[in-house]
Amino acid sequence: MSNNQPERWFPEWKPTTADRVAPDERLPWPQTVVAGFQHVVAMFGSTVLAPIIMGFDPNVAVLFSGIGTLLFFLVVGGRVPSYLGSSFSFIAVVIAASAYSGSGPNLGIPTALGGIIAAGALYLLIGLAVIKMGYRWIETLMPPVVTGGIVAAIGLNLAPIAVKGISGTGFASTVGIVTIVAVGVAAVYAPGMLRRIPVLIGGFAGYLFYALGAGMFGMGKPIDFSGVVSAAWFGAPSFTAPVFNADAMALIAPVAIILVAENLGHLKAIGAMTGRSMDPYIGRAFVGDGIATILSGFCGGTGVTTYAENMGVMAVTRIYSTLVFVVAALFAILLGFSPKFGALILTIPGPVIGGLSIVIFGLITATAGRIWVEHKVNFSETKNLITTAAAVIAGAGDLTLHLGGFTLGGIGTATFGAIALYALLNRKGAAMAEEAPSEAAE
């Protein structure tokens, strides 16, 4: 193709059987389907957990994670390997806006949906601004030292959830460790295609170990399949229409700023993993995520964002083909319309999910190191060291700030804190750079 010709909207996806698959390549279709299902397994726990915490219908959330992922794929032209799942950044503000008690159905969902739509609209506008003006101003605000800190904070912020999942009893801890070891062994020693699905293999091994220990030896609560038996194979989830309340919209809309920072961190991490800069698609990624959040809000779903869990799966498998996420999205849509399959997924024991989460969340955190190494971040510079230290600890400790009616969770605090702190500390370096020529002249 001539350099004067515009880039095709979609790549051609060249077939490959290599150990490392680029975004514009694809595996044979049977392997692509299996890899896509693995991403569904990775995202399912968090995408279901977030709506449950907020009192939303999990099936709606899963359905619109799939639809949102397809929309994202179309907007970015199949150039960015990402999955959109329920965003945890909405939890605190949605609970506040809807006055949710924390258990049972959330009667304030319609009001919260109006706020989610407002956040999606703001996110969309930011994306359009990036497309119009470029993304350099975002890079100035968030250089690699900052984005790496944000990625590390995201992974470490999720760590307590994973650890708690395997900490209930000695048996739970054993199941979690078995799951972790199985993932590692599969990723390193499994033959051929099996090495590409370590999360599925580890999950199956942990599930089987738990079933034997609980069912045959009474070491835990046996897996209950009654919900699977009684659930229908196909059925539409319960959709909910939004109500637009100015106070709720003002409370929830600023979450878009956190989503921008999270998404940018994810895009930088994906660029580090794939060896291909995702910077040209930052604006389109924001737009795709914003549109997906708006549509989800109009139908009763949660706000969505690019998913860190799926980044972890990519880090393990080294399969970055964007077509894998189309398959994953289609699986998610089927899940949304299948109460029986959803009930089956929910039988996965907590310790197994906890073990898988430890591996995946840990890989997210490790990706931060890759960003720093590949961008040659110099930690002998105090500004870089302090910025990273503050961001990582704020995220890991889930430092929550209450600013009037707006609650900023640990990831948000780490994000805005890293941006502001680096800007403050970098002023000295900029001032010294300006003074250097005049001192040399003297």
* Residues written for the chain: 442
According to the model, what pLDDT value does residue 117 have? 96
The Cα–Cα gap between 372 and 118 comes to 34
pLDDT at 405 over 70: no
377-398 mean pLDDT: 90
Question: How many CA atoms does the CB half-sphere of 383 hold within 13 Å?
Answer: 17
Tell me the angle at which helices 255-274 and 410-441 cross, rounded to the nearest 10 degrees: 70
Contact by Cβ (8 Å): 410, 397: yes
356-382 mean pLDDT: 83
Which single residue is written with the structure tokens 């971040």?
Answer: 377
Share of the chain above pLDDT 70, in %: 90
The Cα–Cα gap between 215 and 61 comes to 32
The Cα–Cα gap between 423 and 429 comes to 10
According to the model, what pLDDT value does residue 331 have? 92
According to the model, what pLDDT value does residue 291 have? 97
Max avg pLDDT among 53-67, 186-200, 249-263, 405-419: 53-67
439 — pLDDT class (breaks 50, 70, 90): very low
Which of 97-106, 358-367, 410-419 has the weakest average pLDDT? 97-106
Domain parsing of the chain, residue ranges: 42-431
Closest CA to 159 of 390, 393, 387, 421: 393
Amino acid at 276: R
Closest CA to 10 of 78, 99, 65, 64: 78
389-395 mean pLDDT: 90
Share of the chain above pLDDT 90, in %: 26
73-85 mean pLDDT: 93
Cα-Cα-Cα-Cα torsion 362, 367, 370, 372, nearest 10 degrees, comes to: -100
According to the model, what pLDDT value does residue 432 have? 52
Decide which of 438 and 408 is more confident: 408
According to the model, what pLDDT value does residue 283 have? 93
Which of 72-86, 169-183, 425-439 has the weakest average pLDDT? 425-439
Q: What is the pLDDT of residues 297-336, one digit of tens each?
A: 999 999 999 877 788 788 878 889 999 999 999 999 988 9
pLDDT at 255 over 60: yes
According to the model, what pLDDT value does residue 131 have? 92
According to the model, what pLDDT value does residue 430 have? 57
Q: How far is CA 117 from CA 14, 247, 255, 358, in A?
A: 38, 13, 11, 32
pLDDT at 128 over 90: yes
The Cα–Cα gap between 432 and 141 comes to 19
Closest CA to 187 of 199, 177, 175, 173: 199
262-280 mean pLDDT: 85
Contact by Cβ (8 Å): 401, 133: no
According to the model, what pLDDT value does residue 409 have? 67
According to the model, what pLDDT value does residue 322 have? 93
According to the model, what pLDDT value does residue 297 have? 95
Contact by Cβ (8 Å): 86, 304: yes
Supply the mean pLDDT for the chain. 83
| Angle, CA 381 vertex, CA 267 and CA 361 arms, to 5° | 35
Which of 8-12, 44-48, 232-236 has the weakest average pLDDT? 44-48
DSSP state of 87: -
pLDDT at 442 over 60: no
pLDDT at 284 over 90: yes
Contact by Cβ (8 Å): 357, 165: yes
